[in-house]
Amino acid sequence: MSDTLRLATRGSALALRQAESVREVLATRRRPVDLVEVETRGDRITDELIHRLGKTGAFVRALDEQVLSGDVDAAVHSMKDMPTEMPDDLVVAGVPERASATDVLVTVDGRPLEDLPSGATVGTSSLRRKAQLLAERPDLDVQPLRGNVDTRAEKLLAPGLQREHERRLDAEETDGADDDATTESFDEDLDTWFNGLSELQRRALERDVETEYDAIVLAEAGLDRSGLAHSLQYQRLSPSRFVPAPGQGSIAVTSRDDEVAERIHSAVDHPPTRVRATVERTILAELGGGCVAPVGIYAKLQGSKVNVAVRVLSQDGTEEIRENRDLPVERHPQAAREFAQALADRGAADLIERARRESQPDRGAREDAEESATDTDADTDAEGPSETAVESTDEETPAVASETTADEREVDSDDVEDESAPEADGSDDSTSDHTPSTPWPTVGSDDGEE
């Protein structure tokens, strides 16, 4: 083990910012930390292919392979991108405190969802967000939205800015024609207006767009980590109605089960966030939703209980299974599995199976889609770990046993008791930051996503 800790990360702007936040914490332990950019298969394939093949793990595998080979010491992932199963040699060494898990509706003027006109075009490539939007507003036109956070914001802003630019240009060209009553007048000239635009708005002005969106839906954590929250107008979508993706807003640091993992764990791990991630990902793994079905799962700590909201929908949002339940902290992995089984028995399994059939192409279409995968926009809207990661082909994410492993240890409720101060994601489930009594509490199905 070298003196310098090497952290693998994807090369997108958002991924680099997430990795930098981990690097800053680790660097306080008086050990140099380097970030190593790794291109993943998920950075090259389309959102549609991810949904159809169920391979959100494509964003994770390449990074973890670097860890297993010893080329790097650890890897930083968005929690919602991680498969619910992992190689036996890897552990989730650190789960930093969760950022906001909330989805937001971004518009040019900050209007809420209920004020969008009938037929308004809303952009998202997330099956979950689309289904929840249609369940709330079936009159909306939900269209795919590709690209990283910056790109999506630019696509929203571009048409309006381009029209205003044209109006201002026309006004300057016809300046002095007093008989032209149809010409708009502006308080400032075109150059002054342009100089007052933000960098994001200037990039949007140059962007070609095929679809004009009235609104887009993004993760608030992505906006914050991208530094765009102050540049856009948005409304938070209530997590009780628009239930977030499992792990949304959370980061996971994977490493081999060795001294490095212990150091990472002691430096960055936030026990309450780990419990919440465990519950959410356990339920997803048991339901088998992966990224092929619209599934929202959101856990928050309330004293000795973990309050969990689950919403499983049909892809068009017309059918759903929805339930809220309190689980005991001291046995949260097992309680989460029991909750998932109850949901499956109520019809959630049927909805997920139907979504899987609707999403799965025939073999020829799958191969054609893979051959044409050329996406370079890294931060996709695909959500949820892939349960198909257990397959061992070269194109799949390495597996982790779905049975209970030595990494699954119960966390005593005394380790995650609540406090009066709010948690980072703005929920009411504030908890203490005590170190868990066991080194690797669960994060995942049984073992431990923008």
Q: How far apart are CA 51 and CA 214, in angstroms?
A: 24
Flag whether 223 is in a domain. yes
What angle, 0 to 180 degrees and rounded to 10, lies between the N-to-C axes of helices 271-287 and 332-343? 30
User: In this model, does residue 258 exceed pLDDT 60?
Assistant: yes
Q: Tell me the sheet residues that pair with 90.
A: 256
Instruction: Judge if 376 and 269 occupy the same domain.
Output: yes
Instruction: Judge if 132 and 95 occupy the same domain.
Output: no
* DSSP secondary structure string for all residues of 313-379: E-TTSS-EEEEEEEEEGGGHHHHHHHHHHHHIIIIIHHHHHHHHHHHPPPHHHHHHHHHT-------
User: In this model, does residue 306 exceed pLDDT 80?
Assistant: yes
Instruction: Judge if 324 and 346 occupy the same domain.
Output: yes
Cβ-based neighbours of 210, under 8 Å, separated by 6 or more: none
pLDDT in tens, 120-146: 999 999 999 999 999 999 999 999 998
**Given CA atoms 204, 127, 310, 320 in this order, what sign does their dihedral have?**
positive
User: In this model, does residue 56 exceed pLDDT 80?
Assistant: no
Instruction: Judge if 123 and 134 occupy the same domain.
Output: yes
Flag whether 170 is in a domain. yes
Looking at the 3D structure of the chain, how many domains does it have? 2
The identity of residue 325, as a single letter, is: R
pLDDT in tens, 313-326: 999 999 999 999 99
Instruction: Judge if 71 and 185 occupy the same domain.
Output: no
Instruction: Judge if 310 and 326 occupy the same domain.
Output: yes
Flag whether 441 is in a domain. no
Boundary-marking domain end, from 203, 236, 269: 236
User: In this model, does residue 295 exceed pLDDT 70?
Assistant: yes
pLDDT in tens, 80-122: 888 877 788 899 999 999 999 999 999 999 999 999 999 999 9
Boundary-marking domain end, from 189, 209, 236: 236
Inter-CA distances, 252 with 74, 262, 386, 416, Å: 10, 14, 16, 19
Burial class (CB in 10 A: 0-12, 13-18, 19+), 403: exposed
Burial class (CB in 10 A: 0-12, 13-18, 19+), 323: middle
* Average pLDDT of span 289-301: 90
Note down the domain range covering 280: 5-101+243-416
pLDDT value at position 112? 97
Question: Quick one: what percent of the chain has pLDDT higher than 90?
Answer: 59
Instruction: Judge if 407 and 354 occupy the same domain.
Output: yes
pLDDT in tens, 62-77: 898 899 999 999 999 9
Phi, psi of 86 (to 5 degrees): -135, 160
Flag whether 427 is in a domain. no
Flag whether 188 is in a domain. yes
Boundary-marking domain end, from 210, 236, 262: 236
pLDDT in tens, 213-240: 999 999 999 999 999 999 999 999 999 9
Tell the residue number behind the tokens 């081999």, with chain if given.
Answer: 256
Flag whether 229 is in a domain. yes
User: In this model, does residue 177 exceed pLDDT 60?
Assistant: no
SS3 109: coil
Instruction: Judge if 248 and 377 occupy the same domain.
Output: yes
**Given CA atoms 144, 150, 156, 161 in this order, what sign does their dihedral have?**
negative
Instruction: Judge if 85 and 150 occupy the same domain.
Output: no
pLDDT in tens, 20-32: 999 999 988 878 9
Q: How confident is the model at residue 41 (pLDDT cuts 50, 70, 90)?
A: low
User: In this model, does residue 14 exceed pLDDT 80?
Assistant: yes
Flag whether 444 is in a domain. no
Flag whether 428 is in a domain. no
Instruction: Judge if 333 and 409 occupy the same domain.
Output: yes
pLDDT value at position 133? 98
Global pTM reads 0.80
Residue 356 belongs to domain with CATH number: 3.40.190.10
Instruction: Judge if 211 and 118 occupy the same domain.
Output: yes
126 or 60: which leads in pLDDT: 126
Instruction: Judge if 56 and 134 occupy the same domain.
Output: no
Q: Tell me the sheet residues that pair with 309.
A: 298, 324
412 or 32: which leads in pLDDT: 32
